[in-house]
Every structure is written in C-alpha cells, then in structure tokens.
Amino acid sequence: MKDEKITLTAEATVFYSPGDESAFFTWLKAMTFVHSVRGSGRCLDIVMNPAAMNEYDLRELLALFYRYGIDMKQLSVFSDGSQFEFLRDRRGYWYKHIFE
C-alpha cells in the first residue's frame, strides 16, 4: 500500500458502560497509524495510514474490531500483497468475519 490514507467505519458501536467506551477510545488512540477519528451520527470514521502499520498493528486492529463488533469485512483491504499474509490464514478467528 502506498502512503495514502484509508477510512474504515465503525457503525452503531455498542458500549456497555462509560468505562467500556473510554477503553475503546484509549485503545484506538494508542494505535500510532490512526490519523484521525471523527463521528457523524451513529458512525465513527477511523482514518489511518496503512503504510505505517506492521503485523502487530493489524492484529491490534483485528482485536479491536472483533471485540466491539465492528464490521470486519472492511479489513479485507489489507489482504492484498505480502505485507499481511497471515490475514488470509483460514484458521484465524478473523477469517470468516472478513472473507465469508
């Protein structure tokens, strides 16, 4: 991927307590590849720089999306090329959520 930014959307994310919501945003803000986060209605747009990501970063993003029930199909954008080959591992807990 080039140095272009991509936007992923978290729609109608459910938080079970104020602490849960705080944990979500703390986790998201700790991701150094996240450029900005902006909300509009029930959607949260997460703008990121995929060129700044490594395997650890993508695994953290997978976990965040899985934990908070965010549509993981949009993570298929990372499946092209060889940088994140592990993403195509059918044994991964994420596989069916992204590719099926």
Each residue's pLDDT tens digit, 22-74: 999 999 999 999 999 999 889 999 999 999 999 999 999 999 999 999 999 99
The model carries a pTM of: 0.91
In DSSP terms, 48 is beta-bridged to 6, 34
User: How far is the C-alpha of 16 from the C-alpha of 95, rounded, in Å?
Assistant: 26
> Residue 76 forms beta bridges with which residues?
none
Considering the four listed CATH numbers 3.30.70.100, 3.40.50.2000, 3.30.413.10, 3.40.605.10, the one that applies to the domain covering 6-70 is 3.30.70.100
Spatial distance between the Cα atoms of 47 and 80, rounded to a whole number of angstroms: 19
